[in-house]
Structure formats: C-alpha cells, structure tokens
C-alpha cells in the first residue's frame, strides 16, 4: 500500500543524472516504465497478501450494498405487481436486474480473488513477478466495480464524540459465561451455547481516515500506548465497517469507519497491567491511540496514529432481562398485541409472560409452575402498526423508549409469526399468514436489528402478528416468551413531487419575518381517498421546528389548506387535486437565525384513519439574500436631469428674509415601489456644518432633507447616493463577529439646493389681460409708457407678473408673492442709452405704485426715451431677486 510513496522517491532519483543535469521528457517516460518494473520486482508475498485483503474488504462492502439493493428491488416488484401498478413493477424489475447483475459480478470477482489469494500463498519467489501482475489486474477489476481504492492511509483521527459507546472515549468490555442452550431449535442459523464457555463482549469506536476512499481491514488496526506498546496480544479487532450512522455534529460521513474490538481472553491481573498505571498513590488509566499499519515489506515501517484518547475498562457481564424494540420509528410499547382478544374480539387463551424477579434464564416458562415468570405486557388497547406491502419493517432492539440505542449485552434476535395467538376462525388465520411471502422471517440474526418484508395476494387490510425473540451472550433469554406486535397491511403511499420555494427577506423587522411569503410555485397533486390526519415536520433552528409553513392555493388564488392549522378545514373536505400552487412562510422572528442559501426541508405526511400514509409531500424553503432593489423603485420622472437633482427647498418661514432653513420630503424624489420608505437611505454630501467643516447627512425615505439657508445657493453640487437598506437579515458576520446591514445601491447623482425664485425657472413680465382676468378686448389698467411730468396710469406691483416653471403657487403678481416671500428693497428707471436715471426717480412706497417723479421741469425730453425699470427684492432666504422690465419715457406735449 506504499507504492505511491516508493514511486515518488524513485522518480525523484531518476529525474537527475550523475552530472546533476535534468533529462528529457522522453527519458522521463522511459524511466517511469523502468521504475514500474522495479516496483513490481520489489513486491513481496506479504505486500500482495495485504493488497488482496484490501480488495476482499472492498468487495464485501460492495456485496452487502448489492444484496440490500436486490432485496429492496425484489420487494418493490412484488408489491407493485400485487397493486396492479405496471409502471412501478417495470421500474422495480429494472432496478432488480441492475442489482442482480452487480451482485453476480461481485461474486465472480470474489471467486477470482479467493483463488488468487491461494496462489499467492503457495507461490515461489520465482513466481512473484507473475503474481504481482495478477494482483494488479485483480485490483483493476475490483476498482471497475467499487471505484478507486486508495493505496494507503495518510492520517487517522479518533472520532470519540461519534462513538457507538455513549461514554465516547472509553471502551468497556465484559465476559459472559455461557449456559447450555440452543437459540432456537428449528430456526435457521440457530446458535448453540456451551456451558462454561467464555464469551468476550466487545465495544466499538469510530475513526476517520484520509484519503476518504481508503479501505480499512481488521489486520491494519491496533491500539497502542504512548510508549509504542500495542494490545495485539490481548485485543482482537473483530470487524471494520463503513460508518453510515447520523453524526451528532457536522463533520460529514466521508472516511468514517466503525471498528468493533473485543478481548481475546480475560484475566483480571493481566488486564489491569496493560490498562492501568500507578502515579504516586493513585491508579490512573493508560491512554491508547488507534494505529493504522500501512507498512509494506519493501518499505520502512509506515504507521499513522490518532490522538491518545481511548481508555479501556472491564465490568462483569449483566444479561438483559427485558425486551424493548422499535418497529421502524415506533416503540413496541405503543403497538398492539393480542393480550386478551383478537381484533374481532375472539378471546385469546395464551398469557404473555415477563421475568418476575429480574433474572433471565434459558428456560421459557409456559406454565404457572415456573416461579420466575409472571403475566404481563398488556398492549391490547394500542393501535396496530401500519405496515406497507413489500416495504421493509426494521426491528431494532433498544435500551431506550424514545430513540434507538442498541444494547451491548444482547447477542442475537429472530422474528417469527405469533402463531399461538392466531385465533380468528382458527386455523384459517394462521393458514392465511403462512401463505404469504416473507423475507427475514424465522432466521437468527447476530446483532440487535433485523428486517422483514411481507408480500402476497389479497393481503391489503389484513392484520398479521409477529413475535420477536432475543438471546443474551450467555445464552439466557432476554424475554421468557419473546414480545409480539401486530401490523395491518396497506399500499405504498403516493409521493408527490417536491416543491422548492425561495423566500427573500425584505427587512430585519421582527414583525415582518413570519408574514413574508415566498413566490408561489406550481404543483400537481392527486386526490386522496379518505384522508384523516396529517403531520408537518421541518428541519430545526435552535432545536425548534417547524421553521416554516406551507400554504396551498387553487386556480382562483384561494387558500384551501395550510400546514399552520393542519386540521382546519377537516382533511376529508380537502381536495388536493385542486391545488395548483404552494408558497411558504417562515415562522421565526429573526432572519439571522435562517442560514443564507440553506435549503430548509419540510415534509407533509397525510394518513388515513388506520394510520397508513396516503401521501407525502416534500417542501423546501431557501432563504435568499436580495441583491436587487424592491420591485417598482425609480427616481421620479424629470427630477434628476442630466445627472443633476435641482432640489427646490421649502422654507421654514416664507416671509422675506425670515427663513433659516429649507426642506424637501424624499418622497418627492423617489418612487418606493414595493419597498418600505424608511428603508431607503439617501446620503447628501457636505450638507451640514460640523464646526467649520461640512459633513454628509443621511435621511431615510420617510424623512426630508433639511439644510440651513447658506447651502441653498442654486449652484453648488452635492454628491448624492440612494441605497436600499434591508437591515441585518443575513446570517453571516463580519471579521469583528458582528452582523451587518444588507445594502443594495439604487442611484447616484448630484444635488443642488435651490430656491423657487431661481432665475432659470422664475421669469418676470408685465401682466397680460389673461393674467389680470380681463377680457381680450378690455383696456389694461396700467401703461408702460410714462409721460414726463404726468403719472396717469402708472403701473403697480399688481401689474408685474412672475411665472414659475416649478410650482404654479409662485406664478402670481409681485404684489401677491407666495407667503410674502418677496420684499422690494429698491427700484429705478434708467435710460437704455445712458444707463442713468436721466428723467425720473421711482417711488414705490405709495401703495406699491411705480410713480415717476420729474427731476427738472426744464429737461423735458425731445423724443421718446426707451428705458428699463429695475426692481431689487429679497426672497425668503435673503437672496437678491432682480426684476427688469421695459418702459418708455415720453415727452410732455
């Protein structure tokens, strides 16, 4: 098993020439060929024997898998034929053919390996090269069936917390002294116990090896202490099997092996010598490691060793004196037996027995004269177990009532029909039972579990009784007369197609988690006959479940069933064939508890009144972290133009020069869509004072941006970023171990804080008849021509009209400025030619009339003087607002 190691060493040696230069690629290929020849020549009988043992172990594992698959396929085929399901029967037949072909292939190779093993053992040194070639060829054949077999184990880890032993790192042995008995006469694989014979009961531990495809054999394993002393003289490795159990914490099954060990013989003094040591006045247990031997005879010793975590203990053997087991998932204590009568009330004469004084014997007491037994085990009122035709029933002995925990002191079990209680229309009932087909019945099985299947014609709804017997390692019976259980036969349940849903958190608000719905997924379900009860089970979070519920809707969108209230409406009123979609909702209140991207599984199981499963539906819910914005989000049309958002600020006091700040609601900027307003965050750069510096300010969508008037200058651009904050919805943490908000960027642009009198959007002109509400042919109440020395028809602030492109509230006469937001500071009339007040001064203090006052009676102009009226105002923020209008000064005639 060290060929790769040897190849690397020799390849390295051949890579360099005697002069220290590298050889060509072609030379490499030639050298590799030569190297393989050298390796083949180096192989010894010991190496080949070790490789053959590995091949046999791999084939044994594959043979068991193929046998299990064949049994399952055969049972499924029989059941399908009995149910008249041609499609299922054809599929089962195909599965059976594949399993059968693989089993036959394995048998053929096993025979070749057995022959090869004998040839190697008997071969001479001269024939070793030929034998090496045969071993290589055999390895290729085995790998064609079972996959690649690793050359060697590179590491071994003792997985104490996964050990079959509840104490983890302690192996406990005991010694049973057999009593004369046969378990049981006339039963296949009966066990004969010989009085006084010593039997060592073993214990198990689990190791994980690398590479994960390495194959372990008993010969490779030993236990060793820190001084390098092994226990090979005292301990035997009885078997090594792939570990397929469920682990108590996440580590994965790859590379896991369960090792069963037992003492070769027990001698108290010798056992203490190798397992205990004196430390001062105290006796301490010696720690042992698991050692895997990879050594080939052609290489230096290569052994990989685990941590030193195993201790060994011995205790007197105590036989089990009560029989407890599970039938599939149900404890026998909850399964019906015929304690006093059959199901049609035919009386039962046989009396179920138990040990009276807690001491098991080899004698079954069937009469009242046996003082060691008493009547008991009354399960008359319990329900029969719903068994499925052609589907295996697993009987597992257990030390617990709530879960399977295999007892260590029981050697074997078998199952037979409960013939003494087949009392209905006797002997018709027992004759009917015997006419059916069974697998696993009337056969002693070493260990604590076995399987049986039931097949036959016209057996649906029939009730059949079985009885389980078990024997201790010392030959005593676990129960004086075994323990009976009764089943009712039904058909295989319908398995509906799996529904996979995805739920996307929208916020970390606890009130939103359990109302968040996944997208509804299409599904087709069948109508069920007489559904009566349902169960809903999901994966757990913090050991709690269900972690989500499923909701079923019809084509009109009406919810017709859900797993939140399984019996409302009553199942018999639910027509599942009308279901077209299924959606899910989480049940928790904290999104962080749901792992990102994890698929949580739920199973709806629907049964009839007898407890038979009519259908199962698997539903999954996967939490998906959002990477996009809520549906419907957008920046409102024409708010951001050419990358600029001109934000016209609403003054806190509209009176001229009285505003201290301006605001604008974010809802005026954003269409929130299906998102929540307060989860939108908008950051405006350099928009608030921090001492003598500017800093950024962030507001959410339910708030307003608010800045002091110094920022409202109609020109300065402030970088702006809009994001959607989903909150702390992710299960992942940052490097500091903290949860962070999940944020998706929405938009970036620049913002300019503006006032409504910005010149580009607010224009001034003389009021039109339409502005003043006059008829089209009406005379204007003012004139823009001023006659020197004559102020008739002089315009007023009511005749100057402002038009605003942003908000019509500001489109009004100067006199009626919104909220008195403009105050006139000064006004003048200047000649367009000279730019001076050549003829008039304007007095607007008299009722807002722009009255022209002559300056010199002798300077009457000789012709019309085109002029400009300039009015200087202040707005709410104290900004200067300049109004210019054209007029004409006419000479006095």
DSSP assignment of 300-343 equals: ---EEE--S-BEEEE-------S--EEETTEEGGGS---SSB-T
Residue 804: the pLDDT is 95
Is the pLDDT at 218 greater than 90? The verdict is no
pTM for this predicted structure: 0.57
Give the contacts of 472 (CB within 8 A, at least 6 positions apart). Answer: 176, 319, 320, 360, 409, 410, 411, 478
Sheet holding 812-813, edge to edge: 762-766, 800-804, 812-813
Residue 578: the pLDDT is 95
Residue 301: the pLDDT is 54
d(CA 688, CA 274): 80
Is the pLDDT at 153 greater than 80? The verdict is no
The pLDDT mean for the chain works out to: 85
Residue/partner pairs of 177-184 with CB below 8 Å, 24 or more apart:
177/317, 177/474, 178/473, 178/474, 178/475, 179/362, 179/474, 179/475, 179/476, 180/362, 180/475, 181/362, 181/471, 181/475, 181/476, 183/412, 183/444, 183/469, 183/471, 183/475, 183/477, 184/414, 184/444, 184/469
Give the contacts of 107 (CB within 8 A, at least 6 positions apart). Answer: 63
Higher pLDDT, 841 or 317: 317
Q: Which helix (H) or strand (E) holds 697?
A: strand 693-700
- In the block, residue with structure tokens 């259908």: 615
Q: Residues 510-520: what's their mean pLDDT?
A: 89
E-state strands within 345-408: 353-355, 373-375, 385-388, 393-397
Cβ(490)–Cβ(425) below 8 Å: no
Residue 19: the pLDDT is 33
Least confident range from 217-226, 807-816, 849-858: namely 849-858
Percent of the chain whose predicted confidence (pLDDT) is above 90: 53
Residue 42: pLDDT band by 50, 70, 90 thresholds?
Answer: very low
Is the pLDDT at 6 greater than 80? The verdict is no
Highest mean pLDDT among 32-41, 324-333, 605-614, 860-869: 324-333
Beta strand 303-305 pairing with 880-890? unpaired
Least confident range from 61-70, 430-439, 524-533: namely 61-70
Tens digits of residue pLDDT in 346-393 = 999 998 999 888 788 886 644 445 678 888 999 999 999 999 988 899
d(CA 151, CA 868): 104
What topology is assigned to 762-890 in CATH? Answer: Immunoglobulin-like (2.60.40)
Cβ(529)–Cβ(562) below 8 Å: no
Is the pLDDT at 739 greater than 50? The verdict is yes
d(CA 510, CA 728): 11
Per DSSP, 809 falls in state G
Tens digits of residue pLDDT in 235-283 = 999 888 888 765 544 344 468 888 999 998 888 888 888 888 888 888 8
Closest C-alpha among 420, 416, 424, 393 to residue 466: 416
Tens digits of residue pLDDT in 163-190 = 444 444 788 899 999 999 999 888 999 9
Is the pLDDT at 741 greater than 90? The verdict is yes
Tens digits of residue pLDDT in 293-351 = 865 444 455 678 888 888 999 989 999 999 999 999 999 999 999 999 999 999 999 98
Higher pLDDT, 491 or 339: 339
Residue 669: pLDDT band by 50, 70, 90 thresholds?
Answer: very high
d(CA 178, CA 172): 19
Residue 254: the pLDDT is 66
Residue 340: the pLDDT is 94
Higher pLDDT, 412 or 142: 412
Distance of CA 583 to the CA centre of its chain: 17
Is the pLDDT at 3 greater than 50? The verdict is no
E-state strands within 203-255: 203-210, 221-225, 235-242
Helix, strand, coil shares of the chain as percentages rounded to 5? Answer: 20, 35, 45
Higher pLDDT, 184 or 148: 184
Residue 161: pLDDT band by 50, 70, 90 thresholds?
Answer: very low
Closest C-alpha among 466, 475, 195 to residue 363: 475
Tens digits of residue pLDDT in 601-639 = 999 999 988 888 899 999 999 999 999 999 999 999 999
Q: Is the dihedral of CA 634, 637, 641, 646 positive or negative?
A: negative
Query: Is the backbone peptide bond immediately before 720 cis, with ω within 30 degrees of 0?
Result: no
Residue 858: the pLDDT is 66
- In the block, residue with structure tokens 């099997």: 241
Cβ(730)–Cβ(593) below 8 Å: no
Higher pLDDT, 434 or 857: 434
Query: Is the backbone peptide bond immediately before 546 cis, with ω within 30 degrees of 0?
Result: yes
Residue 720: pLDDT band by 50, 70, 90 thresholds?
Answer: very high
Residue 413: the pLDDT is 97
Query: 3-class DSSP state for residue 230?
Result: strand
Q: How many CA atoms lie less than 13 Å away from 175 in the CB half-sphere? A: 13
d(CA 257, CA 254): 9
Highest mean pLDDT among 20-24, 56-60, 461-465, 490-494: 461-465
Residue 83: the pLDDT is 63
Residue 240: the pLDDT is 87
Residue 12: pLDDT band by 50, 70, 90 thresholds?
Answer: very low
Tens digits of residue pLDDT in 553-588 = 999 999 999 999 998 888 989 999 999 999 999 999
Q: Which two tokens stand for residue 271?
A: 């056992």
Is the pLDDT at 20 greater than 60? The verdict is no
Q: Is the dihedral of CA 428, 433, 434, 436 positive or negative?
A: positive
DSSP assignment of 454-486 equals: EE-SS-TT-EEEEEEEEEETTS-BSSTT-EEEE
Higher pLDDT, 94 or 780: 780
Least confident range from 102-106, 150-154, 194-198, 451-455: namely 150-154
Q: Residues 867-873: what's their mean pLDDT?
A: 94
Cβ(618)–Cβ(499) below 8 Å: yes
Least confident range from 12-16, 128-132, 399-403: namely 12-16
Q: Which two tokens stand for residue 330?
A: 């149900």
Closest C-alpha among 324, 328, 482 to residue 393: 328
d(CA 327, CA 679): 54
- In the block, residue with structure tokens 């531990």: 205
């Amino acid at each position: 098993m060290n060929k790769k190691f040897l190849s690397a060493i020799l390849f390295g040696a051949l890579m360099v020439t005697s002069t220290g230069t590298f050889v060509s690629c072609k030379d490499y290929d030639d050298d590799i060929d030569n190297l393989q020849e050298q390796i083949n020549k180096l192989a010894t009988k010991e190496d080949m024997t070790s490789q053959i043992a590995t091949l046999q172990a791999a084939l044994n594992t594959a043979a068991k898998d193929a046998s299990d698959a064949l049994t399952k396929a055969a049972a499924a085929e029989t059941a399908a034929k009995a149910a008249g399901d041609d499609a299922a029967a054809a599929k089962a037949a195909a599965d059976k053919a594949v399993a059968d072909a693989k089993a036959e292939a394995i048998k053929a190779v096993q025979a070749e390996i057995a022959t090869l093993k004998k040839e190697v053992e008997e071969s001479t040194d001269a024939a070793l090269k030929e034998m090496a070639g045969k071993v290589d060829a055999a390895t290729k054949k085995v790998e064609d069936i079972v996959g690649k077999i690793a050359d060697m184990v590179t590491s071994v880890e003792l997985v104490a917390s996964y050990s079959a032993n509840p104490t983890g790192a302690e192996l406990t042995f005991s010694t049973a002294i057999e009593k004369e008995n046969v378990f049981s006469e006339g039963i296949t694989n009966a066990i004969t116990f010989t009085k006084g014979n010593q039997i060592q009961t073993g214990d198990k531990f689990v190791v994980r090896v690398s590479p994960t495809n390495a194959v372990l054999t008993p010969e490779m394993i030993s236990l060793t202490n820190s001084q390098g002393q092994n226990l090979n003289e005292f301990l035997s490795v009885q078997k090594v099997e792939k570990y397929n159990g469920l682990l108590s914490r996440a580590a994965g099954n790859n590379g896991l092996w369960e090792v069963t060990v037992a003492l070769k013989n027990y001698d108290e003094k010798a056992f203490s010598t190798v397992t205990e040591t004196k430390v001062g006045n105290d006796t301490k247990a010696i720690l042992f490691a698991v050692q895997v031997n990879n050594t080939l005879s052609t290489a230096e010793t290569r052994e990989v060793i685990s941590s030193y975590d195993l201790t060994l203990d011995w205790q007197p053997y105590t036989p089990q004196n009560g029989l407890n087991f599970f039938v599939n998932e149900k404890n026998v204590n909850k399964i019906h037996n015929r304690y006093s009568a059959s199901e049609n009330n035919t009386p039962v004469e046989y009396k179920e027995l138990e040990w009276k004084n807690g001491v098991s014997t080899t004698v079954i007491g069937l009469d009242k004269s046996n003082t060691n037994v008493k009547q008991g085990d009354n399960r008359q009122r319990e329900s029969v177990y719903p068994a499925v035709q052609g589907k295996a029933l697993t009987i597992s002995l257990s030390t617990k009532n709530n879960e399977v925990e295999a007892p260590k002191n029981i050697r074997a079990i078998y199952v037979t029909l409960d013939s003494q209680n087949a009392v209905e229309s006797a002997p018709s009932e027992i004759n009917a039972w015997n006419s059916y087909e069974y697998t696993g019945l009337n056969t002693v099985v070493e260990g604590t579990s076995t399987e049986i299947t039931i097949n036959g014609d016209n057996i649906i709804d029939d009730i059949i009784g079985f009885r389980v017997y078990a024997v201790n390692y010392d030959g005593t019976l676990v129960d004086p007369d075994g323990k009976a259980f009764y089943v009712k036969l039904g058909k295989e349940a319908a398995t509906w197609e799996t529904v996979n849903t995805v739920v996307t958190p929208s916020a970390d608000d606890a009130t939103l988690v359990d109302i968040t719905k996944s997208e509804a997924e299409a599904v087709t379900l069948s109508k069920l006959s007489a559904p009566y009860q349902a169960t809903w089970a999901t994966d757990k979070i913090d050991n709690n479940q269900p972690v989500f519920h499923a909701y079923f809707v019809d084509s009109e969108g009406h919810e017709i069933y859900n797993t939140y209230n399984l019996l409302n409406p009553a199942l018999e009123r639910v027509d599942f064939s009308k279901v077209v979609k299924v959606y899910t909702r989480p049940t928790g209140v904290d999104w962080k508890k749901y792992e990102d991207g994890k698929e949580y599984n739920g199973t709806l199981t629907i049964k009839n009144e007898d407890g038979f499963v009519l259908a199962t539906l698997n539903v999954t819910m996967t939490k998906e972290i959002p990477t996009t914005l809520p549906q419907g989000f957008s920046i409102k049309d024409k708010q951001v133009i050419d990358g600029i958002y001109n934000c016209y600020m609403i003054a806190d006091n509209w009176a001229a020069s009285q505003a201290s700040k301006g605001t604008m609601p974010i809802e005026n900027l954003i269409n929130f869509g299906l998102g929540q307003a307060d989860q939108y965050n908008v950051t405006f750069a350099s928009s608030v004072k921090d001492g003598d510096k500017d800093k950024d300010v962030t507001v959410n969508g339910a708030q307003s941006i608010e800045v002091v008037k110094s920022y409202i200058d109609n020109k300065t651009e402030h970088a702006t970023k809009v994001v959607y904050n989903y909150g702390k919805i992710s299960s992942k943490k940052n490097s500091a171990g903290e949860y962070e908000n999940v944020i998706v960027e929405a938009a970036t642009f620049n913002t300019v804080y503006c006032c409504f009198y910005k010149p580009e959007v607010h224009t001034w002109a003389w009021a039109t008849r339409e502005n003043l509400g006059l008829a089209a042919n009406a005379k204007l109440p003012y004139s823009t021509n001023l006659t020197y020395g004559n102020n008739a028809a002089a315009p007023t602030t009511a005749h100057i009209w402002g038009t605003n492109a942003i908000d019509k509230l500001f489109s009004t006469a100067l006199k009626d400025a919104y909220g008195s937001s403009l105050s006139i500071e000064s006004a003048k009339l200047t000649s367009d030619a000279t730019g001076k007040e050549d003829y008039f001064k304007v007095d607007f203090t008299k009722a807002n009339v722009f009255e022209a006052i002559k300056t010199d009676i002798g300077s009457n102009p000789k012709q019309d003087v085109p002029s400009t009226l300039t009015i200087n105002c202040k707005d709410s923020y104290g900004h200067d607002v300049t109004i210019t209008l054209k007029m004409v000064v006419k000479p006095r005639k």
